[in-house]
Amino acid sequence: MNDSTFLYGAQVRANDIRQHYLRYGGNKDQRAERDAVIIIPGITSPAVTWGFVAERFGRQYDTYVLDVRGRGLSEASGALDYSLDAQAADLNAFASALGLSKYAFVGHSMGGRVAIRAASHHPIGLTRVVAVDPPVSGPGRRAYPANLAWYIDSIRMACKGISLEQMREFCPSWSDEQLRLRAQWLHTCDERAIVASFNAFQMDDIHADLPHIAVPLMLMSAERGDVIREEEVSEIRALVPSLHEKRVSNAGHMIPWDNEEGFYQAFGNFLGQALE
C-alpha cells in the first residue's frame, strides 16, 4: 500500500514567470476545511528536497512546496530579478494564481525572509506565517554566519557532477539519502540567484517588515548554528508583541534534517492542528 501524500508536480505562470511546485495532501477528508500550507525553502533548497517534510504536512494539510525563482524547475535566467522583493511578489502571486482562499506560509531560512516580506503586503487569504530560522542580518546588523563560497563551490561541483562522498564534505552530518538528493538537484540552483540572495541577507531589513504583518507570526529557531540569538528573538518580540516563539533543541540551521520530530512538534497547534 502506498501511503505517500504526494499528488503531483506542476507549473503555473505567476508574477510573469514560470513557477514550479509540488503538491501533497490535496482536498481530501477534513483537509478541505483547513488552511492550505505553502512551504518556501531556503537559499539552495529546491522544492524536492523538502518533500519529506511535505509528505508529513500532507497527511493533514493541502500542501504546496515552491521552487523559488532560480531554483529547481522554476524560471531562471541572467535577466531575472533575484531580489527579495521579487521573490515576495512571486509568492503572493503564486497563492493568487492557484486560487487559494485560506493559506499559511512556512518559510525556512531565506524562505522565512521571503514569507515575512510577502506577508507585510497583506495578501488576501493569508492566515498565518511561520519563519523557520530566518537570517536576521541586515543593514547595521551582524553578518549571516555562513560563507558564500560554501554554496558556490558545491554548486559548481554539482554542475559538473558531484558524488555522494564529495557532497558529504559539505554536509557531513546528513544521511546518504539526503546527500544523494542534494547531489542530484543542487545543479538546478542558478549561481546568480544564490549570490543575489546571499548579498540580500546583508542589505534587506526584514525587521522593518515585521510590524506590518497583520496575521499571527511564529518564529522557530535552532538551538545550534548561531543564526538567531536570544537577544535577537527579544528584539523581534518587541516588534511583534503577539509573537509565537519556539526554539528547537538538538538542531542546527537545517532543523528538520537534524531533529525532524522536534521540528513538527514545534508547530504545536499554530497551524490549526498539531502535526501527527
The DSSP string of 25-82 is S-S-GGGGGS-EEEEE--TT--GGGGHHHHHHHTTTS-EEEE--TTSTTS---TTS--
Query: Where residue 29 falls among pLDDT bands split at 50, 70, 90?
Result: low
Whether residue 72 has pLDDT greater than 80: yes
The full DSSP string for 238-264 is HH-TT-EEEEETT--SSHHHH-HHHHH
**Spatial distance between the Cα atoms of 116 and 119, rounded to a whole number of angstroms:** 5
Half-sphere exposure of 73 (CA within 13 A, CB side): 14
pLDDT in tens, 167-209: 999 999 999 999 999 999 999 999 999 999 999 999 999 999 9
Which contiguous run of DSSP H or E holds residue 1? none
Task: Determine what percent of the chain is predicted with pLDDT higher than 70.
Answer: 97
Query: What is the reported pLDDT for 251?
Result: 97
pLDDT at residue number 148: 98
- Work out the percent of the chain whose per-residue pLDDT is above 90: 95
Report pTM.
0.97
Output the average pLDDT for the chain: 96
Residue 31 above 80 pLDDT? no
What pLDDT score was predicted for residue 1? 47
* pLDDT value of position 28: 63
The strand pair at 63-66 and 244-248 is best described as unpaired
| 258, pLDDT greater than 50 | yes
* CATH class label, 6-142+205-267: alpha beta
Instruction: Look up cell 536570544; give the residue.
Output: 230
pLDDT band at 32 (very low <50, low <70, confident <90, very high): low
Residues 97-123, mean pLDDT to the nearest whole number? 98
Q: How many CB atoms lie within 10 A of CB 250?
A: 11
Joined grid coordinates for residue 144: 549571516
Give mean pLDDT, residues 103-124. 98
